[in-house]
Amino acid sequence: MTTQQDLFESVKEQTLLLQLSALSGWDALTGMPKDAGHFRAEVDAYLAEKTFQLSTGAKREKLLINLEADGSTLDDLGQLVLEKARKDFDLTGKISEEDFVAFQKTLSQAQDFWAQAREANDYQIFKPYVEKIIGYLKQFMPLWQTNEKTPYDVLLNQYEPGLTVAKLDHVFEQVKKGVTTLRQRLAESGNIPDDTFLHRRVTKQQQSNYSMAAAQRLGYSLDKGRLDDTIHPFMEALNRDDARITTRWDENNFQMAVLGILHEAGHGLFEQNVDSKYDNARAVLPISMSIHESQSLFNEVMIGRSKEFWTAEYPKLQAEISPVLDDIGFDTFYSGWLKTEPTLIRTEADPLTYPLHIIIRYEIEKAIFNDNIDLAELPALWQAKYKEYLGLDVPDDLTGILQDIHWAGGSFGYFPSYALGHLYAAQFRATMIKTLDFKAIFNSGDYSPIFNWRKENIWRHGGAVDPNKILEEVTGETLNPQYWLDFITEIYENAYGL
């Protein structure tokens, strides 16, 4: 007889392999020796192969079938793990092992060549790999497709259950309209905040000291994490006691690392506070992208761009980097901190223009998978859309199409999650402020009420509950972009003195 224990053991092994993949992935992007890529590609392919066999092999299938036929040994957790393992099985199980392993190897190489292409500032080095990845996805998508109406819906659905091009077109239209109106009002006001002081020199050490102290005040634990340098910042969690964040530094732009670290620490906070009962089932209970992003963006935008937070934190920042900002009063600081300006780099964008970067990527990905555009046109398409939406000329690949690691990781369909993350974060905040006085909390220096609310309502569930469901249960309504538009309007009106 097949029991819950049999399933748990199999899923635990999968979770152990996931931890190894996470360690390898983190290492590859935080200082693995340059020449070691070819060896690492083999190691990663091996882990992918073992994971594939475990999650889609005959043994797993038999476990699923038997437990679906007789679930008498299953408790609530067992039932959940069974459902998720089945979903996992159906997703990857439709691809041949050979293709799957080859795809994983391609992804590993692609990340290597993406880094090399960035070094050489030359998309051509990366081009064959991105095309290979798209080729694989187009090959796999018909196998994944169930009732999705367009090919790109298939990819969207993998990151966010039930997300469609139809829904996104609608939400993005509302967001685009709201952002455009607000940007016009700000421009017409004639007020241009001074932010030159944000480019005064602050050493890496000072930036690190302040940012990590702030991240820890928000609850990020260094006993369960660490900070490393990388090219494109990310958080990688091996387990809830090992959620590592990364950043990059610019000594003439400390805002980048401060907000970047708050962002990644938001991801880390989520992972560090998942209920321990899910420890061994992490491999089949991944946290959805949008809700993960809602927590990193909650840190970065809902807190890191808010007046309540900076009223309390600005003196701490001033003290840490003194005398750099000693002559800058709070109002000047906060106006500069929120100055909006179109940028070439998505991760350097302010919260107001950020959605436009996502909409550009969304439209390009939609064109790749739904309109089958000529892939040779990608850089030109990228340039055209940056001109159209943000009014910017893209001068080179490094500040253009090579800026994101996502495509190198095969993560097409992921970018919209960032935008959903913004919207979710604002909707959560609107609920929180009904019972929590953010201003009083930040002024008290003890941020634990915010930490506790997030842990209780969101983090502890890990990937066990779908984001839509959490959103509805916690906020009492389905996704409503108006909360985000209201928040963003409030902070920018405030900063621009409207």
Instruction: Provide the binding-site residues for a copy of itself, judged by CB under 8 A.
Output: 13, 16, 19-20, 23-24, 27, 31-36, 38-40, 42-43, 46-47, 221-226, 238-239, 241-242, 244, 279
Catalytic position from the list 148, 160, 236, 264: 264
Q: How far is the CB of 227 from a copy of itself (least distance, A)?
A: 10
Q: At 236, which helix (H) or strand (E)?
A: strand 235-239
Q: How far is the CB of 473 from a copy of itself (least distance, A)?
A: 30
Phi, psi of 105 (to 5 degrees): -65, -40
What tokens were used for 218?
């928000």
Q: What is the DSSP letter of 178?
A: H
Q: At 227, which helix (H) or strand (E)?
A: strand 227-229
Looking at beta carbons only, is 14 or 475 nearer to a copy of itself?
14
Query: What distance lies between CA 158 and its chain's CA centroid?
Result: 15
Is 61 marked active-site?
no
Residues that constitute the known binding site: 263, 267, 293
216: closest CA among 445, 23, 421, 435? 445
Looking at beta carbons only, is 31 or 315 nearer to a copy of itself?
31
For the chain, the maximum distance between any two Cα atoms, rounded to a whole number of angstroms, is 74
232: closest CA among 409, 45, 353? 409
Q: How far is the CB of 45 from a copy of itself (least distance, A)?
A: 9
Please spell the DSSP secondary structure of 183-203, one letter per residue.
Answer: HHHHHHH------GGGGS---
Looking at beta carbons only, is 17 or 258 nearer to a copy of itself?
17
Burial class (CB in 10 A: 0-12, 13-18, 19+), 201: exposed
Looking at beta carbons only, is 14 or 157 nearer to a copy of itself?
14
Amino acid present at 381 = L
Q: Cα separation of 282 and 88, whole Å? A: 12
Looking at beta carbons only, is 109 or 239 nearer to a copy of itself?
239
Residues that constitute the known binding site for Zn(2+): 263, 267, 293
What tokens were used for 115?
């880094």
Q: How far is the CB of 240 from a copy of itself (least distance, A)?
A: 8
Q: What angle do CA 324, 330, 331 make, to 5 degrees?
A: 125
Q: Cα separation of 133 and 144, whole Å? A: 16
Those residues whose C-beta lies under 8 Å from the C-beta of residue 442, and which sit 6 or more positions away, are 308, 309, 311, 312, 313
Q: How far is the CB of 40 from a copy of itself (least distance, A)?
A: 8
Query: What distance lies between CA 462 and its chain's CA centroid?
Result: 15
Looking at beta carbons only, is 24 or 311 nearer to a copy of itself?
24
- Side-chain-facing half-sphere of 411: CA atoms under 13 Å: 16
Q: How far is the CB of 51 from a copy of itself (least distance, A)?
A: 13
Active site residues: 264
